[in-house]
């Protein structure tokens, strides 16, 4: 199965952001610092505690992150949108509430014209999220199970 995973770049607060996302979404979280990697000897001492790679996994969801910023610097807020397709109405409501804490609600969760419960927000770290629970897909799956 082909899958798109989001990879977020932070400016020194990757550990805090990824820990926040784990609290919001659940799952297993792992970190590798620059100091724990083969790059350690080539990097300045001030970077040893920076996160080289973080991975949050829960079922098919994979969210990755790093403090390793490219030469042009970090451009926050419009460089990545995270699309979270939820498996239930309760899940989309819970994730929306948690992710919007301390952030900005751009579009409240509401019924969309395409039959989904949909909303978007910018979290307290400046990342943009769209959340979607497709009720029609759930109804279709229930019908298919009865056949």
For 60-78, the pLDDT digits (tens) are 899 999 998 876 778 766 6
Instruction: Report pTM.
Output: 0.76
Residue-level pLDDT at 75 = 76
> Percentage of residues in the chain with pLDDT exceeding 90?
61
Is it the case that residue 2 has pLDDT exceeding 70? Answer: no
For 106-144, the pLDDT digits (tens) are 999 999 988 899 999 999 998 989 999 998 765 454 455
Residue 130 C-alpha from the chain's centroid: 10
For 21-62, the pLDDT digits (tens) are 999 999 999 999 999 998 888 888 888 999 999 999 999 899
Q: Which whole number is the average pLDDT over 88-114? A: 95
Residue-level pLDDT at 78 = 65
For 41-51, the pLDDT digits (tens) are 888 888 899 99
Domains in the chain, ordered, with CATH?
1-71 (3.10.180.10), 75-147 (3.30.720.110)
Residue 10, classified by CB atoms within 10 Å of its CB into exposed (0-12), middle (13-18) or buried (19+), is buried
Residue-level pLDDT at 141 = 47
Identify whether the C-beta of residue 122 lies closer than 8 Å to the C-beta of residue 106: yes
Token pair for 131 = 């959340």
Greatest C-alpha distance within the chain:
62
DSSP string, the chain: -----EEEE-SS-HHHHHHHHHHHH--EEEEEEGGGSTTGGGS-GGGTTSEEEEEEEETTEEEEEES---TT----SSS-EEEEE-SSHHHHHHHHHHHHTTSEEEEEEEE-TTSEEEEEEE-TTS-EEEEEEEHHHHHHHHHHHH-
Higher pLDDT, 51 or 83: 51
């Amino acid at each position: 199965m082909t899958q798109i995973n989001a990879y977020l770049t932070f400016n020194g607060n990757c550990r805090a952001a990824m820990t926040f996302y784990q609290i919001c979404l659940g799952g297993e979280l792992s970190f590798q610092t620059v100091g724990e990697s083969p790059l350690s000897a080539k990097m300045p001492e001030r970077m040893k505690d920076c996160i080289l790679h973080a991975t949050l996994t829960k079922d098919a969801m994979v969210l990755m992150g790093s403090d390793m910023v490219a030469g042009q610097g970090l451009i926050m807020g419009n460089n990545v949108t995270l699309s979270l397709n939820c498996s239930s109405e309760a899940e989309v409501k819970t994730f929306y509430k948690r992710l919007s804490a301390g952030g900005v609600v751009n579009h409240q969760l509401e019924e969309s014209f395409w039959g989904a419960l949909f909303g978007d927000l910018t979290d307290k770290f400046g990342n943009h999220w769209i959340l979607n629970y497709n009720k029609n897909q759930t109804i279709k799956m229930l019908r298919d199970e009865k056949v």
